[in-house]
Amino acid sequence: MPLIECRQLTKHYLRGSEQITPLQRLDLTIDRGSFVALMGPSGSGKTTLLNLIAGIDRPSEGELIIDGQHIHTMSRGKLAHWRSTNIGYIFQLYNLVPVLTAYENVELPLLLHSLSRKDRHRRVAEVLDVVGISDRYKHYPRQLSGGQEQRVAIARAIVTEPTILLADEPTGDLDRETGTAIMELLKRLQTDKNQTIVMVTHDPLTTKWADTLLHLEKGQLVEAVTS
């Protein structure tokens, strides 16, 4: 059974008086434990699709079913709870809170869960070790390199043990060596923890880490390549 099912998924929004349709009747299935890369020109619907899967936005038409649940029909409160337990999101620009340490940034999403302080500490320590930055846990974002900030962002995204890990241009602002290290880390999360990853990228070199490469053009799937 697929983990993610998009059935005729469509998204409209207004820009002034003009209706924009970044996704048009998209049919797509993504299996559990797979690593999918999304490519396409700006405005092709890649980030829109990530935001729909994340429950940040709602489809205008069609169905979005994740792990058997009809996400598009959930109430706002139920959707927020579902997102906090099922989605990890790695943002291109990290989105770390500048006044919090690396440890505190990673701990932040756990505050929405009924965990003891001891359990939160254990989880944070584990994921900081996984991403290789446990020696920087007291550092603030301004004291970290770009690659270190991205590692903290990845740790924050995986600390809740989400069903799906979404990554929007995870190497976009990194040099090649650091970007390769980040991609190796994501691949390890897939292979070692059976993590399902959906990644948006403009860099063809990062797609070699994915099992499946999807091309979006004007909101529609135009090609799929499976390695």
Range 93-103 average pLDDT: 95
Instruction: Take residue 216 and report the two structure tokens written for it.
Output: 């979006």
- Judged against a pLDDT cut of 70, whether residue 225 lies above it is answered with no
- Judged against a pLDDT cut of 90, whether residue 50 lies above it is answered with yes
Top-confidence residue, 107 or 222: 107
Q: Check residue 45 and give its pLDDT.
A: 92
| Predicted TM-score of the model (pTM) | 0.92
Candidates 1.10.10.520, 2.30.30.30, 3.40.50.300, 3.30.420.40; CATH matching 4-95+163-226 = 3.40.50.300
Mean pLDDT of all residues in the chain?
A: 93
Range 154-167 average pLDDT: 95
Range 112-130 average pLDDT: 94
pLDDT tens-digit series, residues 176-209:
999 999 999 999 999 999 999 999 999 999 999 9
Q: Check residue 84 and give its pLDDT.
A: 92
pLDDT tens-digit series, residues 208-221:
999 999 999 988 98
Judged by DSSP in three states, 141 sits in helix
Q: Is 190 left (phi over 0), alpha (psi -120 to 50) or beta?
A: alpha
The bridge status of strand 61-66 relative to strand 35-39 is unpaired
- Judged against a pLDDT cut of 70, whether residue 227 lies above it is answered with no
Query: Which distant-in-sequence residues (6+ apart) come within 8 Å of 147 by Cβ?
Result: 174, 175, 178, 181, 182
Instruction: Take residue 173 and report the two structure tokens written for it.
Output: 């602002």
Judged by DSSP in three states, 191 sits in helix
pLDDT tens-digit series, residues 72-91:
999 999 999 999 999 999 99
Domain locations in the chain as residue ranges: 4-95+163-226
Q: Which residues pair with 161 in a beta bridge?
A: none
